[in-house]
Chain A
Amino acid sequence: DSGVTQTPKHLITATGQRVTLRCSPRSGDLSVYWYQQSLDQGLQFLIQYYNGEERAKGNILERFSAQQFPDLHSELNLSSLELGDSALYFCASSVGQNTQYFGPGTRLTVL
């Protein structure tokens, strides 16, 4: 158990819908990262937050957004969902820029 929690574990929704994925980092970790794992793209970095502020951005679509709250948990919002958004979404946390510890992931299926 890495200490990073993600909810929900599975999510099934329809095209065009909007979903919110939640992540709670390890106690004391200020950085939260979001990654997408798909069969065709592999593991791709989406976005990083540090103590509530956006720190780095990767291949994140404009339909996707994220935020980190004062209690340091983070949410990833995915809107206007398409079939190609079906993937595993991982959250990771770290102390500063050190080793990242991953949550169990949320499997999103868009039908």
Chain B
Amino acid sequence: GNSVTQMEGPVTLSEEAFLTINCTYTATGYPSLFWYVQYPGEGLQLLLKATKADDKGSNKGFEATYRKETTSFHLEKGSVQVSDSAVYFCALSPLSGGTSYGKLTFGQGTILTVHP
């Protein structure tokens, strides 16, 4: 079945540091890949997505590139802010077919804390 593995957390950084959160996946075919963010006490917000190999998703200074050859979708940001403190989830959605059609499979989440 499909699965997503994220780097173990939590991650603690100082403001303006470089961020990488690793995400690798197992899936048949060419799934769509997503990063969602969950701020304290809130629901999940879509951060960025990519739907095919070599696509780069970007939003609010965050980037992730769909790497088919390494089955990865690592999240990066060049300079984090205190307001980026949240839980980040990598997820995949199969394109079509089967009973898993449409559902999101999530990684376990990575807690990011940014200190001033």
Enumerate chain A interface residues (CB-CB to B < 8 A): 2, 31, 33, 35, 42-43, 45, 48, 50, 55-58, 90, 92, 94, 97, 99-105
A2 B104 Cβ-Cβ under 8 A: no
Nearest-Cβ distance from residue B33 to partner chain A, whole angstroms: 11
A2 B45 Cβ-Cβ under 8 A: yes
B99 A43 Cβ-Cβ under 8 A: no
Chain B at the A interface: SS class: loop
Using a Cβ–Cβ cut-off of 8 Å, how many residues does chain B contribute to the interface with A? 24
Enumerate chain B interface residues (CB-CB to A < 8 A): 32, 34, 36, 42-46, 49, 89, 93, 95-96, 99-109
Chain A at the B interface: SS class: strand
Instruction: Say yes or no: A102-B45 contact (C-beta < 8 A), given A56-B100, A97-B96.
Output: yes
Instruction: Say yes or no: A58-B103 contact (C-beta < 8 A), given A42-B109, A97-B93, A102-B36.
Output: yes
New contact pairs (17) apart from A45-B104, A56-B100, A99-B32, CB-CB < 8 Å: A2-B45, A31-B102, A33-B103, A35-B104, A42-B106, A43-B89, A43-B109, A55-B101, A55-B102, A56-B101, A58-B103, A90-B43, A92-B44, A97-B101, A99-B46, A101-B46, A105-B43
